[in-house]
Amino acid sequence: MKLGFIGYNDPAGVEADARFAATHGFDGLEYNYWGDFRDLTLETVTAMRRTLDAHGVGTSALGLWGWNHLAPDPAVRAEAHEMLGRAIEFAQTLGAEALITGGGVLTEEAIEPNVEEFAKVFPPFLERMAGAGLTPAMYAVHGNSFFDCIEAFQQVWERLPQVGIKFDPANWRHHGDDYLAVLRDHGDKISYVHIKEHLYMDGELAAQPAAGMGDIEWGKVLAFLYEHDYRGYLSFEPHGPHWSREPLRSKMLLLSRKHLEQFLL
């Protein structure tokens, strides 16, 4: 397994994160975009790649979040597909290993119509990802995606077994699911992992500190990843109002790494 973290997207942030990653032995950086992906250019992505190469740091993943690839509105769907195509190109330019995105939503009333539409829409994109050397990683229990339960993934796997999960145990737990059961039963479908901690008090999320300082059982998470021979990235995600910004952001990254390293060879 390799270690990385979610980086800043602005040029100064890319430079600072690449220097930090190289100094502290992180393998790669992850970059995520929402609606702002419209404004990302190939020129900017090429400059990002030059910065990473200069520091000897890779790109773990490019994430395209919030775009509805199954939208009933043809104009909304067409723009989402245009962005997805560009994301594949930009991810390849960055040398990313994974492309993170959602499945989209055709209807919220049932899983089956979404699965049917996904199976019609996504094969050409999955082929393009494969040709670009990208592993598809569908984010779960998050906005604008029908992948809000393991059953949605199971139905898709019957048609498109190459679809992987972008797995974040904290998100699954916060959604009310047993994240360890997902790992135990479907760890072979995990294609990318986010490391984000959740600390609960009185049933409420109180903080999102470094891994090992909250309620996620990281030793058990790694145990199941080993059982399924996971060899991808563990990407640390600075999150929340305190630990996503300095002075705690860098501490979160180093403390999370220190905690996880006890389970790594």
Query: What is the average per-residue pLDDT within 33-59?
Result: 98
Question: Three-state DSSP class for 37?
Answer: helix
Distance CA 129, CA 191 (A): 13
pLDDT at 81 over 90: yes
What are the pLDDT digits (tens) for 109-140? 999 999 999 999 999 999 999 999 999 999 99
Contact indicator for 21, 257 with CB cutoff of 8 Å: no
Please give the domain boundaries of the chain with CATH numbers for all domains: 2-261 (3.20.20.150)
Which two structure tokens, joined as six digits, stand for 135?
């592993």
The closest of 224, 235, 242 to 257, measured between CA atoms, is 235
pLDDT the model gives residue 181: 98
- pTM of whole model > 0.85? yes
Token pair of 178, please? 């047993």
Whose structure tokens read 């199954």? 70
Question: Distance between CA atoms of 113 and 105, rounded to whole angstroms?
Answer: 9
What is the average per-residue pLDDT within 85-104?
98
* Mean pLDDT computed over 74-85: 98
Exposed e or buried b per residue across 209-227, where buried means at least 16 C-beta atoms within 10 angstroms of its C-beta: bbbebbebebeebbebbee
Residue among 225, 240, 228, 242 nearest 260 (CA)? 225
Q: Which two tokens stand for residue 201?
A: 């008090």
How far is it, in rounded angstroms, from Cα 118 to Cα 113?
8
- Cβ atoms of 58 and 52 within 8 Å: the answer is yes
For residue 243, give both structure tokens: 């630990």
What is the reported pLDDT for 192? 98
d(CA 236, CA 109): 34
Closest CA to 75 of 66, 83, 65: 83
CA angle 141, 146, 149 (to 5 degrees): 50
Residue 3 CB neighbour total at 10 angstroms: 22
**Count of alpha carbons within 13 Å of 195, Cβ hemisphere only?**
33
The predicted structure's pLDDT at residue 110:
96
Beta-bridge mates of residue 31: 62
Q: How confident is the model at residue 143 (pLDDT cuts 50, 70, 90)?
A: confident
The predicted structure's pLDDT at residue 83: 98
pLDDT digits (tens, 9 = 90+) for 13-44: 999 999 999 999 999 999 999 999 999 999 99
